[in-house]
Amino acid sequence: MNFFKKLFRKEKPIVQYKKAKTKLILIGLDAATLTFIQPLLDEGKLLTLKKFCQDGCCGILKSENPAISPIVWTTIYTGKKRDKHNIFGFYSNKSELKARRVWEVLHHLGLSIGTIGAFFTAPPETIYNFMIPNIWVKVNDLTDPPEFNFAQHWFHYKPREFKKLKKFGLTNNTISYLKKVKRKFPHIGRKATSPEIHFGNLYLKTDVFIHLLRKLHTDFGVIAYYGADAFQHIFMHHYKPEWFTNLDFKVRNKLKNLIPEYYIEFDKQLARIMEANSENTNYIIVSDHGSQPCPPELQKTFRISEIGMIKALKLDGIAKPTYAHGFITIELPGELIDATFNKIKSIRLIENNLELFTVLRKFDNRLEIQHNPNIMRSKEMHNMHFQVYDSKILLNDLLISNQRFGMHHLNGFYAGYGPAFKPQQNRATLSILDIVPLILSILNVPIGIDMDGRIPVELLNENFINTAKSKQPYETIIQSEKNIDERDMDKIKKQLKDLGYIG
């Protein structure tokens, strides 16, 4: 990990613009958890986060099941549960949103907005100061302003091309890092399993965010980072091999420190963001969920491919499947829900009459199903068959490896710092539903009357507490965003496979 340490040991401050006067910055750190943060705090390796925890607040942020990133991030951004905001998985589209995100509310009330990396911001709106969508699940590279679209595909640049990006805020350190990555891995592409992609995104996003905040007066900024989640899924066994004693593998020193190194580098980028803003800026850091090692019974196992199951049900091209935490979520037109539910419920292994799926949940526009764990653990049963319509299917033909080293946990992380926050002697536990009420209170905006969270007044200084509620839901007075995602299911499927969310 010297590759990362050398480059970002000392970062010279940007001097093109004076300090930004952002009122509040929301920083997303996907999958952040005290399990990894606390040891680094104790070792003195997270000096910026230590300032948050000592002079502001930090603690557990409770997520909700299923802890699927687009669902949970939308809950965080709206202050509403998934049945209200209507986002149920990676195949969801921002045209399906039934709730307004916090930046839509604030923009309607006259505040200036900028976002980088948030879910369901593609294609970007042009009514905000800037909007650079999440890099992972999208179908084009559009950004606003359009000249910042390099942030969506920098990994396709040639080393000599990075120098021209300096005028968009990239520091010499970031340019040097990106050049070295491309020289070492010329065909790296957008690989979710590549550590260099995630560190590159961390540095580049921070540079662009600082540049745009300084250049454009922005009242409320959002930036989200996703490397911690990718690393805990893929590399946790190298970081803590003692958690995986039933696996036979060789610890790779290059990968052993990836998880702590990402948190350390994030802490440095957080310091840079704070240095670029005035002392009156408030900061809130949140994760959508936490992380934990997979239990031994899940470290070496198989599962049913959701794509294979959709084909068996003759729903290919109609249903939109996603897998997370043992559940297959199948988004379907409402008129197909009952028939599909009954068909899945009837499926049994021919040889021993065991149910293939033992947990089935039915909703208006989706099903959530979980396969029989006893079948998955029995190699003998893998060679048995089941019947769907007129097809006799060998179970083994639908099985794929389900080896995951890290998995989501409902205990996420939050931290707050700035003039709104008073130092906390004890760490309060918050819900992901509380973040929007917290933001609105700090900015002296009424909380939506139908929001599901609360204002955590115990964290705030008195002059930042506003308990007023709107007279009607914000959805009744604020029109939804106009730019709608293109539908390109094949491209989205490929991205989800690269991320390990479908198989």
CATH number for position 479 = 3.40.720.10
Does 281 share its domain with 311?
no
> Is 7 contained in some domain?
no
> In this structure, are 389 and 431 located in the same domain?
no
Query: Which residue has tokens 């794509």?
Result: 307
pLDDT at 13: 46
Token pair recorded at residue 255: 């990968």
449 lies in a domain?
yes
Residues 444 and 347 in one domain: no
Same domain assignment for residues 118 and 232: yes
Asked, for residue 1, whether it belongs to a domain, the answer is no
Domain termination residue (choose one: 372, 401, 430): 401
273 and 366 share one domain: no
User: Is there a single domain that holds both residue 368 and residue 248?
Assistant: no
Q: Is the link from the previous residue into 145 a cis peptide, with omega within 30 of 0?
A: yes
pLDDT, one tens digit per residue, over 141-193 is: 899 999 999 999 998 899 999 999 999 999 999 999 999 999 998 888 766 67
Is pLDDT of 365 > 60? yes
Total domain count for the chain? 2
Strands (E), 33-97: 57-62
Region of 353 please: left (phi>0), alpha (psi -120 to 50) or beta: left
One domain for residues 253 and 382: no
Name the least confident of 7-21, 104-118, 159-173, 181-195.
7-21
Q: Residues 346, 211: one domain?
A: no
Same domain for 88 and 65 = yes
User: What is the predicted pLDDT for the residue at 300?
Assistant: 67
Residue 71: closest CA among 128, 104, 30, 132: 30
Q: What is the pLDDT of residues 273-293, one digit of tens each?
A: 999 999 999 999 999 999 999
My answer on whether 41 and 158 are in the same domain is yes
pLDDT at position 139 is 63
Query: Mean pLDDT, the chain, as a whole number?
Result: 90
pLDDT reported for residue 325? 65
Q: What is the pLDDT of residues 310-342, one digit of tens each?
A: 999 999 989 988 887 678 889 999 999 999 999
pTM of this structure: 0.84
Is the pLDDT reported for residue 403 higher than 80?
no
Residue 469: give the domain boundaries: 19-294+406-499
Helix (H) or strand (E) run with residue 438 in it: helix 435-442
- 283 lies in the same domain as 347: no
Residue 108: CB atoms within 10 Å: 14
The number of CA neighbours under 13 Å toward the Cβ of 452 is: 17
Q: How far apart, in whole angstroms, are the C-alpha atoms of residue 194 and residue 181?
A: 11
| Tokens matching residue 485 | 């995602």
Question: Which residues make Cβ contacts (< 8 Å) with residue 463, sequence separation at least 6?
Answer: none
CATH number of the domain to which 361 belongs: 3.30.1360
Q: What are the CA-CA distances from residue 258 to residues 22, 222, 225, 240, 405 (Å)?
A: 32, 25, 15, 11, 14
